[in-house]
Amino acid sequence: MFKRMPKIVLAMLAQGLALALLALLVLLASHIIAPPYPFWLLVMVQGVLAAFLSCRLGLPCWWRWIQFALPVGLYWGLQLEINPIWALLIFVLIWLIFSNAIKERVPLYLTNNTTREALKKLARKRRKVRFLDLGCGLGGNVVYMAQQPNVARADGVETAPIPYLISKFYTLMRGGDVYAMDLWNTDLSSYDVVYAFLSPEPMPKLWQKVAEEMTPGSVFVSNSFAVPDVEPSEVWELDDKRKTQLYLYFR
Ligand SMILES: C[S@@+](CC[C@H](N)C(=O)[O-])C[C@H]1O[C@@H](n2cnc3c(N)ncnc32)[C@H](O)[C@@H]1O
């Protein structure tokens, strides 16, 4: 039942249950040691209980660090009289960078150099390549591919505001083009190599788009996330630390 709930609701539920448990513990403890108890101790216990419950309720276990830090951070924020506007500013900044983590379940992380070299190798087998990075992050792949001699055009699309602005500026300085466009609205038919480094979530829907729009002779490359139930034409396992797998789908 819990697994189907949105993660943010589960996280709030864990904090609520932790608070109820804490109240019970305080009630029991009051029979042994007379209250009041130090606030810092209550806050620590709240954090530990919420972290423990988060894992038990089915949130990914790394959330326990956030769940612990939340009450403890609030407590210290109040103790140190930090202006709450900072929390708002940090939230807005995170949203401007990672908005697609909420909307599309695709956060921002970047392609490494070994993978870029593999893309170069793939492009080298072709002439006048038109390359597209779907969700181009900070624009590194677009610039790199734009600088390859056999690449005629390197484009990227990005909707998260800060990554878009950075990639736009970077490509203006170093080559390639970036558009503030949702990847679902791009026309894939004019590209020979379409690259995506997204998450498991959009892959089935993205495959439909690839199958409808990409033309014969082109290739769709997905970093790390295979299309479910579709046999890739080739899988390249790269010699980097994370043993990156590139799934190649020739059209
Ligand atoms: C994992 S990052 C990869 C960044 C870059 N392609 C790279 O490999 O270094 C995925 C990027 O896709 C962007 N993204 C997610 N959904 C998108 C959408 N619907 N339209 C455009 N960009 C999107 C995210 O904002 C994020 O920057």
SS (H, E, C) the chain: CHHHCCHHHHHHHHHHHHHHHHHHHHHHHCCCCCCCCCHHHHHHHHHHHHHHHHHHCCCCCCHHHHHHHHHHHHHHHHHCCCCCHHHHHHHHHHHHHHHHHHHCCCCCCCCCHHHHHHHHHHHHCCCCEEEEEECCCCCHHHHHHHCCCCEEEEEEECCCHHHHHHHHHHHHHHCCEEECCCHHHCCHHHCCEEEECCCCCCHHHHHHHHHHHCCCCCEEEEECCCCCCCCCCEEEECCCCCCCEEEEEEC
Tallying the residues shown for the chain, one arrives at 251
**What single letter denotes the amino acid at residue 38?**
P
Q: Considering only CA atoms, which of 30, 21, 70 is closest in space to residue 49?
A: 21
Residue 156, strand partner residues: 133, 178
Average pLDDT, rounded, for the chain: 94
* pLDDT score of 188: 97
Ligand 1 centroid to residue 104 C-alpha, Å: 9
Centre of ligand 1 to C-alpha 198, Å, is 6
Choosing from 157, 198, 203 the residue with most ligand 1 atoms within 8 A of its CB, the one to mutate for a pocket test is 198
**What's the mean pLDDT in 153-170?**
97
Among the candidates 82, 101, 125, a domain finishes at: 82
Residue 102 pLDDT exceeds 90: no
Average pLDDT of span 136-152: 96
Percent of the chain with pLDDT over 90: 83
Domain count, the chain: 2
Does residue 119 share a domain with residue 71? no
- Average pLDDT, stretch 144-158? 96
117 CA → ligand 1 middle, Å = 20
Give me the pLDDT at residue 2, please: 67
Residues 158 and 219 in one domain: yes
Kindly give, in sequence order, each residue whose CB lies less than 8 Å from that of residue 74, ignoring residues fewer than 6 positions away: 43
What is the tens place of the pLDDT at every residue in 191-224? 999 999 999 989 999 999 999 999 999 999 999 9
**How many Å lie between the centroid of ligand 1 and the Cα of residue 34?**
55
Residue 52 sits in the same domain as residue 144: no
Q: What CATH number corresponds to the domain at position 127? A: 3.40.50.150
- How much distance in Å is there from the Cα of 194 to the middle of ligand 1? 13
159: nearest Cα among 224, 101, 112, 239: 101
74 and 128, same domain (yes or no): no
Nearest CA to ligand 1 atom 6: 136
Shared domain for 22 and 129, answered yes or no, is no
Nearest CA to ligand 1 atom 9: 110
Interval 5-55: pLDDT, tens? 778 889 999 999 999 999 999 999 999 999 899 999 999 999 999 999 998
Closest residue CA from atom 2 of ligand 1:
108
Average pLDDT over residues 120-144: 95
What pLDDT, on a 0 to 100 scale, did the predictor assign at position 99? 84
123 and 246 within one domain:
yes
Residue 87 or 237, more confident: 237
Query: What local confidence, expressed as pLDDT, does residue 106 receive?
Result: 85
90: left (phi over 0), alpha (psi -120 to 50) or beta: alpha
Measured in angstroms, how far is the CA atom of residue 66 from the centroid of ligand 1? 24
Give a yes or no: residue 103 inside a domain.
Answer: no
- Band (pLDDT 50/70/90 cuts) for residue 125 is confident
Q: Quick one: pLDDT band at residue 3, thresholds 50, 70, 90?
A: low
What pLDDT sits at residue 195?
A: 98
The pLDDT value given to residue 1: 65
| 88 within a domain of the structure (yes/no) | no
- 183 occurs within a structural domain: yes
Whether 99 maps to a domain, the answer reads no
- For residue 17, report the distance from its CA to the centre of ligand 1, in Å: 36
Do 195 and 134 form a contact (C-beta atoms < 8 A)? yes
> Which among 67, 82, 97 is the end of a domain?
82
Pocket of ligand 1 (CB under 6 A): 100, 104, 106, 108-111, 133, 135-137, 140-141, 157-160, 163, 182-184, 197-198
Domain enclosing residue 37, as ranges: 2-82
> In this structure, which amino acid lies at residue 222?
S
